[in-house]
Amino acid sequence: MEVLQLVVYGIVTGSIVALGAIGVSLVFSILRFAHFAHGDVMTVGAYGALAGVSLLGVSPMVAIPFAIVFAVAVSLLAEVLLYRPLRSSHPVILLISSFGVALILRSAVQLVAGPAPRVFKSGIQIPYRFGEIVIRPDHFWIVGGTILIIVALHLFLSRSKFGKAMRAMSDNMDLARISGIPAYRMILITWVIAAALAAVAGVFLGMDTRLHPVMGWRLLLPIFAAAIV
């Protein structure tokens, strides 16, 4: 039974990592550089949701729009101020720049929210028991939400006009531009989707554990490992 309980925990953690890895894969496939600030975008999203929970008294799931707004805002700001001017440079330059963005975001979170760990809500959740297996209600939200998001993203990429344009950009950006696809608009849409995925992953991570300024950074290595696999 201990093995089954560990499998449950692994599925929950794997769901969070999967959302982060999909965002990293989208950025790399279209922009052709490894975005090392992705983990800290997750952190910004999680703290954005915490702001919504604190201001409105809602659950973390309801506060996810706050997380997405915060994460998308910092991602687009980094794109406009830093990544876009450096896009013609070597990909290594962009990679190193993303390290700088990660440090800036992490320090900003520490300055605003402080270095101490935080939680969305205090108290003890009453878990569901299936024999010897214990599952928290949040775990159902995390796994179910991840499945819904992945299915929705698959339908978006395979059925929608913008999704097909993003796939064309991933295959050959120059040919996509010649074909009339608005490249920069697709880049912005990529950032929005990747940031939204990172925000949701950050909220799910905060629901499963706690919030702290390095929460996304600590998960970055498993995210990149999952993206590579």
Query: For residue 27, which amino acid is it?
Result: V
pLDDT tens per residue across span 1-40? 578 888 888 999 999 999 999 999 999 988 888 899 999 9
DSSP state of 135: E
pLDDT tens per residue across span 87-142? 888 888 988 999 999 999 999 999 999 999 999 887 677 777 877 788 888 999 99
Q: Please report the pLDDT score of residue 204 as a whole number.
A: 96
H or E element, residue 169: helix 161-171
Please tell me the distance from the alpha carbon of residue 121 to that of residue 210, in angstroms, as a whole number. Answer: 10
pLDDT tens per residue across span 136-155? 889 999 999 999 999 999 99
Please tell me the distance from the alpha carbon of residue 153 to that of residue 155, in angstroms, as a whole number. Answer: 5
Please tell me the distance from the alpha carbon of residue 165 to that of residue 186, in angstroms, as a whole number. Answer: 7
Please tell me the distance from the alpha carbon of residue 186 to that of residue 143, in angstroms, as a whole number. Answer: 29
Buried b (16+ CB within 10 A) or exposed e, 161-174: ebbebbebbbeebe
Confidence of residue 205 (pLDDT cuts 50, 70, 90): very high
